[in-house]
A = this chain, B = another copy of it.
Amino acid sequence: MEHKVIDVTIRDGGLVNDFDFSVEMVRSIYDGLNQAGIDYMEIGYKNSPKLLKGESSGPWRFLDDRFLRQVIEAKGATKLSCLVDIGRVDESDILPREESLLDLVRVACYIKDVPKAIELVNKFHQLGYETSINIMALSNVRDYELKEGLQLINESPVDLVYVVDSFGNLLNRDIEYYVEFFQKYVPQKTIGIHTHNNLQLAFSNTLVAMHKGTTFLDSSLFGMGRAAGNCPTELLFRVLNDAKYDLRPILKLLQEWMIPLREKVEWGYTVPYALTGMLNEHPRTAMALRNSEEKDEYLSYYDRLTSVETYNK
| Chain A contact residues, CB within 8 Å of chain B | 171-173, 197, 199-205, 207-208, 211, 222, 232, 234-235, 237-239, 247-248, 251-252, 254-255, 259, 269, 271, 274, 277-278, 296-299, 302-303
Contacts and interface: CB of A to CB of B under 8 A. Distances in A.
A73 to B, nearest CB: 24
A311 to B, nearest CB: 18
Given A171-B207, A255-B296, 12 more contacts: A171-B238, A171-B239, A197-B200, A200-B200, A234-B274, A237-B278, A238-B277, A247-B302, A248-B299, A251-B271, A252-B298, A255-B297
B299 A255 contact: yes
A299 B239 contact: no
Give the oligomeric copy count.
2
In this complex, which of A197, A208, A238 has the most chain B Cβ atoms within 10 angstroms of its Cβ?
A238
A291 B35 CA distance: 30
5 contacts: A171-B207, A172-B208, A251-B271, A255-B296, A255-B299
Contact of A172 (B207, B222, B252, B269): B207
Q: Tell me what chain A mostly uses at the interface: helix, strand, loop, or mixed.
A: helix
A172 B209 CA distance: 12
Nearest to A202: B200
A166 to B, nearest CB: 17
Contact of A271 (B234, B238, B297): B234
A183 to B, nearest CB: 20
Contacts of A171: 207, 238-239
Nearest to A272: B251
A200 B235 contact: yes
A200 B204 CA distance: 8
A200 B259 CA distance: 18
A82 B246 CA distance: 43
Contacts of A222: 271
A271 B254 contact: yes
Contacts of A200: 197, 200, 202-204, 232, 235
A127 B175 CA distance: 47
Contacts of A203: 199-201, 204
Contacts of A254: 271, 296, 298
Nearest to A268: B269
B235 A199 contact: yes
Contacts of A173: 211
Contacts of A237: 278
Contacts of A204: 172, 200-201, 203-205
A228 to B, nearest CB: 11
Which of A200, A239, A278 has the most chain B CB atoms closer than 10 A to its own CB? A200
A82 B53 CA distance: 60
Nearest to A232: B200
Nearest to A231: B200
A278 B199 contact: no
